[in-house]
């Protein structure tokens, strides 16, 4: 497991849970508020034209317009910069706004993108459908297969994109190895760190160029706001992404959502520990249940990528997937019988959520393709919440009976 000193933020030497509470906050606001106020304003005023001109020339950093900068959004960007060990960050209206803007900012007509085959459904669609329409060649492979990976990057690749753990099969991709190869071929690497959150894994520390999140999930943590965030060590890139893509495409986060995320992040360390503890106990329960054929949890010793998860993560996260011994009708009955655990697509919330990727988040694909990449017709994904795990296991047990 990753050593604890990795959690120390090089920027100000504070530990993760301290940064989750304090980083980005406690600025020189009027009346010295403990928490960053919500700046619900679209625009900001200037005292005179000279100040306005200097601001537009970037000689001053005054706020101008919320689709560009806003103190509440900025506080979130600073907190996420500290938590991911980056140099700067930019917030977006959603995870997909972040993903689409990052990929469009890095790829031009004639470029090549290599992605891991298992990805969140809309990210997969963006890469397989939208980028090719803009002249970008895209290919999905199993990035864990080193031989195939090396063949592909030798043939010419501009960007590598993946999630680790991947949604929903929890494939673990070797951050350090991919970063090292990519560096020698001058390839940019983008990692979606939504499932692990910076609490369990910091891809920038492993040499990854750009890390992004669906902040809708663990960053927010309460299922009440959409958001996306991108963090990098390359401050010039973040400035380009912020003013050339976020502000121009217009996928800006609402200041109110930024405030919800700031509030959510204060308890990220506590929540992630609780999610992971529950997920691990749910995985143990499912492993021993006769109606379950296979369990996918990075913390299970017989999980295919267990050794790698152990090497690059400091904990195994809150998502468990499993294969049900039965057909779609049996799955329907099981899902209907659950009382506490809710059928829903999202994850990372305080409530435990369950979903059936084959018919829900990954429905748009050819069924044989899904089977080929391991998203089988009997695969179910659970996002463990922070309830008492005894109630969650009782709910599962009764629904499986
Ligand atoms: C791993 C992952 N990345 C990105 C997204 C997209 O995020 P959003 O729904 O905030 O646009 C999701 C959504 O479920 C996801 O699971």
**Residue 214 alpha carbon to ligand 1 centre in Å:** 5
Residues 109-127 have a mean pLDDT of 97
Torsion-angle region of 221 (φ positive above 0: left; ψ -120 to 50: alpha; else: beta): left
Q: Is the CB of 168 under 6 A from ligand 1?
A: no
Query: Two tokens at 272?
Result: 């992630």
Q: Give the largest Cα separation in the chain, rounded.
A: 74
* Per-residue model confidence as pLDDT tens digits over 32-81: 999 999 999 999 999 999 999 999 998 998 999 999 999 999 999 999 99
Spatial distance between the Cα atoms of 264 and 271, rounded to a whole number of angstroms: 9
For residue 259, how far is its CA from the centre of ligand 1 (angstroms)? 19
**pLDDT band, very low/low/confident/very high, at 133 (cuts 50, 70, 90):** very high
Single out the residue of 293, 366, 301 nearest to residue 330, CA to CA.
Answer: 293
Q: What is the spatial distance between Cα 183 and Cα 390, in angstroms, rounded to a whole number?
A: 47
CA distance 57 to 190: 31
Residue 357 confidence (pLDDT): 94
Q: pLDDT category, 12, cuts 50, 70, 90? A: low
Judge contact between 9 and 19, C-beta under 8 A: yes
Query: Looking at 174, 192, 305, 395, which residue is catalytic?
Result: 192
Phi-psi region of 110 (alpha: psi -120 to 50; beta: other; left: phi over 0): left
Ligand 1 centroid to residue 120 C-alpha, Å: 7
Identify the burial level of 50 via C-beta atoms within 10 angstroms of its C-beta, where 0-12 means exposed, 13-18 middle and 19 or more buried. exposed
**Can you give the length of the chain in residues?**
401
Q: Is 383 in the pocket of ligand 1 (CB under 6 A)?
A: no
Token pair, residue 184, equals 């020698």
Closest by CA position to 171, among listed 195, 149, 188, 154: 195
Asked if 249 is an active-site residue, the reply is: no
- Is 381 labeled as catalytic in the residue annotation? no
Q: What CA–CA distance (Å, rounded) separates 39 from 199? A: 28
| DSSP letter (8 states) at residue 206 | G
- Alpha-carbon torsion angle 36, 41, 43, 48, nearest 10: -70
* Residue 389 pLDDT greater than 80, yes or no: yes
Facing residues of 190 across strands? 161, 210
Task: Please identify which of the residues 79, 144, 188, 217 carries the catalytic annotation.
Answer: 217
Q: Is 312 in the pocket of ligand 1 (CB under 6 A)?
A: no
Residue 329 has pLDDT above 80, yes or no: yes
Residue 385 CA to residue 347 CA, distance in Å, equals 9
Q: In the chain, what percentage of residues exceed pLDDT 70?
A: 97
Question: pLDDT tens for residues 153-191?
Answer: 998 999 999 999 999 999 999 999 999 999 999 999 999
Instruction: Please confirm, yes or no, whether 133 is among the known catalytic residues.
Output: no
Q: Quick: pLDDT tens for 217-257.
A: 999 999 999 999 999 999 999 999 999 999 999 999 999 99
- Ligand 1 centre distance from Cα of residue 96 (Å): 6
Whether cis (ω within 30° of 0) applies to the bond prior to 165 is yes
Distance CA 98, CA 238 (A): 12
Catalytic-residue membership of 218: no
pLDDT at 123 over 80: yes
Domain with CATH 3.40.640.10 in the chain: 4-265
Cα(217) to ligand 1 centroid in Å equals 8
Q: Parallel, antiparallel, or unpaired: how do β-strands 112-116 and 137-141 relate?
A: parallel
**180: Cβ–Cβ under 8 A, 6 or more apart, which residues?**
207
Task: Provide the angle, in degrees to the nearest 10, between the axes of the packed helices 389-400 and 328-337.
Answer: 140
Q: 54 phi and psi, to 5 degrees? A: -65, -35
Ligand 1 neighbourhood includes 226 CB (under 6 angstroms): yes
Question: What average pLDDT does this structure show over 76-98?
Answer: 98
pLDDT of residue 5 exceeding 50, the answer is no
- Residue 100 Cβ < 6 Å to ligand 1: no
Distance (Å) from CA 265 to ligand 1 centroid: 17
Token pair of 119 as six digits: 């990805």
Q: Which residue owns the Cα nearest ligand 1 atom 3?
A: 214
What residues have CB less than 8 Å from 50, skipping those under 6 apart? none
Q: Tell me which of 2, 14, 54, 67 is the catalytic residue.
A: 67
| Torsion sign over Cα 141, 144, 150, 156 | positive
Q: Which residues contact 162 (CB under 8 A, 6 or more apart)?
A: 115, 116, 119, 143, 173, 178, 190, 191, 192
The answer to whether domain 4-265 has CATH 3.40.50.720 is no
Query: Which residues of the chain does CATH 3.90.1150.10 include?
Result: 268-400
Instruction: Give residue 4's pLDDT band: very low, low, confident or very high (50, 70, 90).
Output: very low
Q: Is 345 in a helix, a strand, or coil?
A: coil
* CA 398 – ligand 1 centroid, Å: 31
Backbone φ, ψ for residue 230 (5° rounding): -125, 130
Q: Whose CA is nearest to atom 16 of ligand 1?
A: 120
Q: Give the 3-state secondary structure of residue 193.
A: coil
Would you say the CB of residue 355 lies under 6 angstroms from ligand 1? no
Ligand 1 contact via 95 beta carbon (within 6 Å): yes
State the architecture of 268-400 in CATH terms: Alpha-Beta Complex (3.90)
Average pLDDT over residues 394-401: 97
Ligand 1, atom 14, lies closest to the CA of 346
The residue among 55, 21, 79, 98 whose CA lies nearest residue 253 is 98
Residue 30: CB atoms within 10 A of its CB come to: 6
């Amino acid at each position: 497991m990753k050593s604890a000193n990795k959690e120390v933020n090089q920027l100000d030497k504070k530990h993760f849970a301290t940064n989750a509470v304090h980083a980005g906050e406690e600025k020189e606001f009027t009346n010295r508020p403990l928490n960053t106020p919500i700046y619900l304003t679209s625009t900001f005023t200037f005292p005179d034209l000279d100040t306005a001109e200097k601001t537009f020339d970037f000689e001053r950093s005054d706020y101008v317009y919320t689709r560009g900068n806003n103190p509440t959004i900025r506080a979130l960007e600073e907190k996420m910069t500290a938590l991911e060990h980056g140099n700067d960050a930019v917030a977006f209206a959603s995870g997909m706004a972040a993903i689409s803007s990052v990929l469009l900012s890095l790829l031009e007509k004639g470029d090549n993108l290599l992605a891991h085959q298992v990805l969140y459904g809309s990210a997969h669609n963006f890469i397989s459908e939208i980028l090719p329409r803009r002249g970008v060649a895209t290919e999905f492979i199993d990035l864990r297969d080193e031989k195939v990976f090396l063949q592909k990057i030798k043939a010419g690749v501009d960007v590598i994109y993946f999630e680790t753990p991947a949604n929903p099969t929890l494939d673990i991709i070797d951050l350090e190895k991919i970063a090292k190869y990519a560096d020698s071929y001058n390839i940019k690497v983008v990692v979606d760190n939504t499932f692990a959150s910076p609490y369990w894994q910091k891809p920038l520390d492993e040499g990854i160029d750009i890390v992004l999140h669906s902040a809708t999930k663990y960053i927010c943590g309460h299922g009440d706001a959409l958001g996306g965030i991108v963090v990098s060590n390359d401050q010039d890139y973040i400035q380009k992404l912020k003013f050339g893509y976020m502000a121009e495409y217009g996928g800006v986060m609402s200041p109110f959502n930024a405030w919800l995320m700031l509030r959510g992040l204060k308890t990220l360390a506590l929540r992630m520990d609780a999610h992971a503890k529950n997920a691990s106990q749910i995985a143990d329960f499912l492993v021993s249940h006769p109606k379950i054929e296979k369990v996918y949890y990075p913390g299970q010793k017989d999980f295919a990528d267990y050794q790698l998860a152990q090497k690059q993560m400091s904990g195994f996260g809150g998502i468990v997937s499993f294969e049900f011994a039965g057909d779609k009708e049996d799955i329907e009955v099981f899902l209907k019988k659950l009382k506490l655990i809710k059928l829903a697509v999202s994850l990372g919330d305080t409530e435990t959520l369950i979903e059936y990727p084959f018919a829900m988040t990954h429905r748009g694909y050819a069924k044989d393709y899904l089977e080929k990449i391991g998203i089988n017709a009997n695969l179910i994904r659970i996002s463990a919440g922070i309830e008492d795990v005894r109630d969650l296991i009782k709910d599962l047990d009764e629904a499986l009976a």
